[in-house]
Homo-oligomer: A and B are copies of this chain.
Amino acid sequence: MTARPANAHQARLLRLLRDGGPNSRARLGDEVDLSRSKLAVEVDRLLETGLVVADGLAASRGGRRSHNIRLAPGLRFLGIDIGATSVDVAVTNAELEILGHLTQPMDVREGPVAVFEEVLTMVGKLRDSGLAEGFDGAGIGVPGPVRFPEGVPVAPPIMPGWDGFPVREALSQELGCPVRVDNDVNLMAMGEQQAGVARSVQDFFCVKIGTGIGCGIVVGGEVHRGTTGSAGDIGHIQVDPEGRRCACGNRGCLEATFSGAALARDAESAARDGRSPELSSRLERAGRLTAADVAGAAAAGDATSLDLIREGGARTGQVIAGLVSFFNPGLVVISGGVTGLGHTLLASIRTQVYRRSLPLATGNLPIVLGELGQAAGVTGATRLISDHLFSPA
């Protein structure tokens, strides 16, 4: 795909077809508020580019039946989500429906060269399976702040080898298509907005609790990246002045108190202290514990695990309560690996937020788990690149 929409009307038509699927010319005309003749001109130009194709006759609305159009069914986007401990790669059509999705454990600290090699192997597998011959564009998320205009990670605390690495340029060369790069948490928020629980919500934030903790912020339908691209970096907000020393040098950061890594640490400590026979036996079997073990032990009724989740949820809720007062969102989404902790975690977060924030801000504020799981990041990544491609050239 080399064509790009020539103007804002065409861009809007492409996004409507992406988000709503095939549609009749008549209905699209209602939505973009163009005269019938101007609409016909813009649609004809899009048909000429090959981005849009005819799709038969629409159901009758009375009078002459309108023609359906849709995005070209052969368009393919690639979504790549590099997490701290795993890589996801997915292929979608132009409507951002996932056609194939691979996931692979991987330590981001192995550096960009090793990670890219793995990503390209996964892309090759998806291509070999016949899902795509080539790609019209790719979006990629990395677990750290990104200088967005250039597509370069900047001073990423958990991925030191990536600082300044030209992710966009390197990947674009390998794949031969346009690439856009963003922080993984921003992409998760965009994914939930595109196809998940935040669909149609204009102002919300999405808290990702994985190995670390981050937050994707959407204002007026657009991701808020902040002045230097570090918006949403909430893992180092202080929750306890007397708390644990954090890797950042401060004390009592949220991330040092509760996160996938902190939970595993606390669970192992409880297992060793004999505070939880359930965790002890899991530690003995596996040699180490993860957040998933805490979830499993809690589901089996282990009181220590339930306490760890409740306490962590309360700390997280304390931070979210402050952000709700500040930002007054219409929705808060909780996602990331720790959502395996499920409703115990959510209940604990909700208690804090509803108790601590003012009624005006919480009166109609859903706090929910993300819906898309592992698919959120890759979906957001394809949304990112399609937003770019479906903008006026």
A residues in contact (CB < 8 Å) with B:
145, 154-155, 157, 203, 215, 217, 219-220, 224-234, 236-238, 248, 250, 318-319, 321-323, 325-330, 355-361, 363-365
Q: List 24 A-B contacts (CB under 8 A).
A: A157-B358, A203-B226, A217-B326, A219-B220, A219-B224, A220-B220, A225-B328, A226-B361, A227-B330, A227-B364, A228-B360, A228-B361, A229-B360, A230-B361, A231-B327, A233-B360, A233-B361, A234-B325, A236-B358, A237-B322, A237-B325, A238-B322, A248-B358, A322-B323
Main secondary structure, interface of A, reads: loop
Once the chains bind, are B228 and A321 in contact (CB under 8 Å)?
no
The answer on a CB contact under 8 Å between B328 and A360 is: no
A201: nearest chain-B partner, CB-CB:
B227
Question: Is B228 touching A328 in the complex (CB atoms < 8 A)?
Answer: yes
Structural contact, B358 and A227, CB atoms closer than 8 A = no
What distance in Å separates the Cβ of A349 from its nearest Cβ neighbour in chain B?
15
A231 CA to B224 CA, complexed, in Å? 15
* A365 and chain B: residue at smallest CB distance: B227
* Cβ–Cβ contact A325 & B358, under 8 A: no
Q: Which residue of B lies closest to A253 (CB)?
A: B356
Q: Do residues A359 and B155 form an inter-chain contact, with CB atoms below 8 A?
A: yes
A250 to B352, CA, bound (A): 11
Whole-angstrom distance between the Cβ of A155 and the nearest chain B Cβ: 5
